[in-house]
Amino acid sequence: MRPDILNPLFAEVRAMKGVGPGLAKPLERLGLERVKDVLYHFPANWTYRKAVSVLDVADVGSNIIVTVTVMDHRNSNNARAPLRIFVADVAGNYLTLTFFGRNGGWARKQLPVGEKRIISGKLERYGDELQMVHPDHVVPVDSDTSPGLAEPIYPLSDGLTNKRMGQLAGAALQDVPDLPEWIEPTLVAGRNWPNWAAAMGTVHRRDDQSVRDRLAYDELFSNQLAMRLIRAAMDKRTAVPVAGDGSLISLLKLPFALTGAQQRAIAEIEGDLAQSRPMLRLLQGDVGAGKTMVALMALLRAVESGMQAAMLAPTEILARQHYAGLQKLLAGMPVNIAILTGREKGSLREATLMGLADGSIHILVGTHAIFQEAVTYKSLAVAVIDEQHRFGVSQRLMLSRKGRGVPHLLVMTATPIPRSLALAAYGEMDSSILDELPPGRTPVETRVMSQDRLAELIDGVARHLAAGKQAFWVCPLVEESDKSDLAAAEQRAEMLRLRFGPQVALVHGRMRGAEKDAVMERFVAGETRLLVATTVIEVGVDVPNASLMVIEAADRFGLAQLHQLRGRVGRGSEKSVCILVRTTQIGETARARLALMRETNDGFRIAEEDLKLRGAGEMLGTRQSGDSPFRVATPEQVRELIGVAADDARLLLERDGGLDGPRGQAARVALYLFERDAGVATLRGG
Ligand code: ADP
Ligand code: MG
């Protein structure tokens, strides 16, 4: 249960005073649903003003605050002319306040002749006069809302003005509860951090990095604490030790030797599997590093020990590819492998479910369907999740609840994650890294080309296809919606068909599973040669004969995403080329990013740069999964503070008495505030 002290923060914004239906949409667009969302909607920028008593010391062009006396209103007969109000400072210097349109009526009321007012705004010169057009603030001298020297500028959406947003923040600040301190006291003292409520007040009043750090730290701390709690809960449960006698692995006929990195990872995994403490391990390895082979060893260990294993893929296509690949590798071996996705129906599905329940199926490959309620395993000992970045912590938790014992869990990702982020996203896991590609790979050559040269590019593709090779053509992300992406892809496919005829195929995210697979299968089989796609091909799909990749409007993709896409080629012995087509008008940063892609194939380096250039949430692929790890902390703050937060969370649990001690009670509040309460829930359940 959420601690009562948080109730005011979780109240709906709609219920705040003065929030009418007109604000509903703009607030929703910004994701501001509850009072706490408004509080955490920090200013993105600041307008600074100089307070002056006399106008002749103020610089024209600067923002000022000054107290003036209203001298005269100048009305014009021309209704379209602006209203001009003359005011004077204490020394008698004149200033003209100019109001256009309907603002005149308001101004007349606010600025009665003979009254004193504090005004703020940008000082300008108009002919010989000093002028201020539409002052930002006009308030009586005794008002308690005199304009601040620094005014916050908020991220806004249509229908929400900065002033209104400022008022909302002010209203939300009215009754912020005095939350207990959850941060380790020496850390608070060392960094000179204010308490939570004070920090919240300050962050909306002035630009203070240290205060923003404190508030970001809270989020990182909650994240790290939740990770540790999940880990602790897992550790309390037991898994069946999986030893394996090598009887199956010795039968494998691999056409190559494992890389040193693969051998290391396998040894680490086998070490975990032999324990009754459930394995919770992340396997990171760049595209093509050979993660599947490592996973296979873990799967076979389970089967050798007389138990079952499952492998979860994020998409239908990938599940089928893994299934086919494993079938080939396991041919002739006494291992029964099956596939289960949303598409297996009727008696086929029944048979698979039976086989899982009675243990006759040893390895199951599939999509999310493999962990649904109806699926019961006789003895699931090892679960592998491929391409982890599509799954969040909550899905990992769901997995851990499957079955009586906990299966050993191996999570694989091809998105190299910078260290700081790995801690944030997978802090509860141990990690193995495949930092070595199998030998004999020729690195993909990357070129950048302007959209202007499309005709030339298409000629190049023609030569490539004529040589009997295949190619991918990835279409631009037009907008955030599938619909417009699709239109663009369809159009491009249409155009390419005019030139290349029926060897052009189109695959996109809106296709039904069966349809999509059929298209992919024909491409893998070489029946079609040029595959036009939206980013559905991003993850995992392996077509060795495809050695050319064209990515349109590459400047609109994230670097990590480009790297993933590029990883689709360079899988065969053939030298591969990736052409990044850039839109014609691109800025310096975009140029630099594309240049980096040309320069390096190192996924970790690209990930680091991407983290600098984009939000952390985006990089982790959370746009797809919808649970962004951080709303408050910026990438720099994550880099700088996540390690501190990890230590702090550890101290709380190991030294300070966990969640039940006094600091622990406060930490519970933080977990609920950041909705990391899954951590608390596991503790209770475990
Ligand atoms: P990823 O890490 O991207 O999942 P895969 O497991 O799909 O990579 O492997 C990519 C390709 O490399 C596959 O065709 C696989 O058979 C091959 N491969 C894996 N390990 C080795 C190795 N040690 N030597 C040579 N080729 C390998
Ligand atoms: Mg893979």
For the stretch 629-661, pLDDT in tens is 688 988 788 888 999 999 999 999 999 888 998
**Angstrom distance (rounded) from CA 168 to CA 13:** 9
Residues, CB within 5 angstroms of ligand 2 (ion): 540
Q: What is the pLDDT of residues 382-399, one digit of tens each?
A: 999 987 655 555 566 666
Q: Indicate the top mutation candidate among 259, 292, 538 to test ligand 1's pocket, ranked by most ligand atoms within 8 A of CB.
A: 292
**Angstrom distance (rounded) from CA 82 to CA 99:** 5
pLDDT at 623 over 50: no
pLDDT at 234 over 50: yes
pLDDT at 400: 59
Mean pLDDT, to the nearest integer, of 30-46?
94
- Residue 534: pLDDT band (50, 70, 90) is confident
Which candidate, 182, 228, 236, 173, places its Cα nearest to that of 205? 173
pLDDT at 256 over 70: yes
pLDDT at 510: 77
Q: What is the pLDDT of residues 266-299, one digit of tens each?
A: 999 999 999 999 998 999 988 788 999 999 999 9
**Angstrom distance (rounded) from CA 439 to CA 297:** 20
Share of the chain above pLDDT 70, in %: 89
Q: Where are the domains of the chain?
A: 50-148, 249-434, 445-600
Q: Which ligand is nearest to the CA of 295?
A: 1
Which segment of 69-73, 405-409, 470-474 scores lowest on mean pLDDT?
A: 405-409
Identical fold at 50-148 and 249-434? no
Domain 249-434 class in CATH: alpha beta
Q: What is the pLDDT of residues 164-218, one digit of tens each?
A: 999 999 999 998 999 999 999 999 999 999 999 999 999 999 999 999 999 999 9
What is the position in ligand 1's atom list of the atom closest to the CA of 544? Answer: 14
Q: Which ligand is nearest to the CA of 326?
A: 1
pLDDT at 541: 67
**Angstrom distance (rounded) from CA 279 to CA 424:** 19
The token pair at 128 is 């010989």
Q: How far is CA 127 from CA 70, 104, 171, 423, in A?
A: 21, 22, 42, 61
Residue identifier of the C-alpha nearest atom 24 of ligand 1:
438
pLDDT at 517: 78
CB-based pocket (< 6 A), ligand 1 = 256, 258-259, 262, 285, 287-293, 414, 438, 542
Domain 445-600 sits in CATH at: 3.40.50.300
Domain 50-148 in CATH 3.40.50.300? The answer is no
What is the position in ligand 1's atom list of the atom closest to the CA of 258? Answer: 23
Q: Tell me which of 106 and 421 has the higher pLDDT.
A: 106
**Angstrom distance (rounded) from CA 593 to CA 578:** 15
What is the position in ligand 1's atom list of the atom closest to the CA of 292? Answer: 6
> Ligand 2 center to residue 158 CA distance, Å?
42
Share of the chain above pLDDT 90, in %: 55
Which candidate, 604, 483, 471, places its Cα nearest to that of 529? 471
pLDDT at 616: 46
Q: What is the pLDDT of residues 539-566, one digit of tens each?
A: 556 788 899 999 998 988 878 788 888 9
Mean pLDDT, to the nearest integer, of 306-326?
89
Q: Indicate the top mutation candidate among 256, 385, 435 to test ligand 1's pocket, ranked by most ligand atoms within 8 A of CB.
A: 256
pLDDT at 36: 96
Residue identifier of the C-alpha nearest atom 4 of ligand 1:
291
